[in-house]
Amino acid sequence: MHQPLSGLRVLTIEQDGAGPYGTQLLASLGADVIKIENPSTGGDSGRCAGPYFLGEYDSEFFQTFNRGKRSMALDLKDRGDRRIFERLLSTADACANNLRGDLPAELKVDYAHLGRIKPDIVCAHLSAYGREGERAHWPGYDYLMQAEAGLMAMTGEPDAPPTRFGMSMIDYMGGTMMALGLVSAVLGAKRSGRGCDVDVSLYDVALHQLSYPATWYLNEGKCAERQERSAHPSVAPSQLFRTADGWIFVMCQAPKFWGAFCQAIEREDLLSNPAYADMAARRMNRDKLQAELDAFLSTRTTAEWMTRLGGVAPAAPVHSMSAALGASQARSRIETVSHPDKPGGLKMVRDPVRINGQNAPTCRAPKLGEDTREILDEMLNDKPEDRAAE
């Protein structure tokens, strides 16, 4: 398989989910991602994230974010290990981390320090609040960003407490943004011969995810309010509706889909109702339309409605996790990765990027320090003149 990032080497000092998520995307596209892990502290803290463990210093949580990487055991505060790290750095294109904002300078993994060793190195930093300002030393996590950036206030039912997303989406978006910034900066460094610092903060990512409601507020002074049934703020019907056995999400985002929806459910009468004549009318009469569609859609099961709506009007069943992962559409997206401590292999969801119609080959995440000897041997056999000729 063609791997577009083959030949790219990234050293990473990372833990938990955000940073590892981003560098795993790079690994799945062919980059040689080497985790620098301190053996005296147990390496990446995600190795000890329960409740499902896979031998010593390994867990299903860790495996989720670190497939396809290599692990090298080094303590960057140890003088000898630091020399090894700096020798390894000379073979790398980038050094990534998701340390607290004040720590890259302290650990000397920013461009001010690493650029002296390798002028074209890219130093990518993913922190909670950035490396500058009064919050640089603050620890931070995804849920805190959802709270402070206003995302929790926008999520959930109107009469419910503020609600977080079901997953740590700010972590994942933060990792993705860091990966994009890193690859872009490496491309620039290849042209200019000079590297740089790339900074992404979870707080900035969370604010950025406010998206068009932020633009509306900044320009019109209008706060997006939570809508009943997770409805879209300006389009109707675009929300949850009851069925005989559960829920269905319908999204008539364009006039043609409103027509297709009404025809598919055999309710052409709705098309001639002045209360639903256009998008503005449907939005103004959202409550009335919800009550009418609820009563009608609850006469049949979700599966029956999906048989009519699938591929005709945008609609989706509301699945539990078991139903989602058991659906026929999902089965080809699940793979089994061999693991020494998991007889029969570890089932995982594939990375989403396909190149020329193929998913990237993958392997399990490494044990702590598993690749140290291999990488040291590579360094011993590596000749500077060979690298210069590449």
Record the tokens describing residue 194, joined without a space: 């000079």
What whole-number distance in Å separates Cα of residue 378 and Cα of residue 93?
Answer: 16
Quick check: bond before 139 cis, omega within 30? no
Give Cβ neighbours of residue 102 (< 8 Å, ≥ 6 apart): 131, 136, 137
Contact present, 205 and 177 (Cβ < 8 Å): yes
Write phi, then psi, for 293 (nearest 5 degrees).
-70, -35
Q: Are 97 and 181 in contact (CB under 8 A)?
A: no
Burial class of residue 106, CB neighbours in 10 A (0-12, 13-18, 19+): exposed
Q: Is 212 exposed, middle or buried (0-12, 13-18, 19+ CB in 10 A)?
A: exposed
Catalytic, out of 2, 232, 319, 339: 232
Check if 319 is active-site: no
Q: Cα(258)–Cα(256) distance, rounded to whole angstroms? A: 5
Supply the residues annotated as catalytic: 232
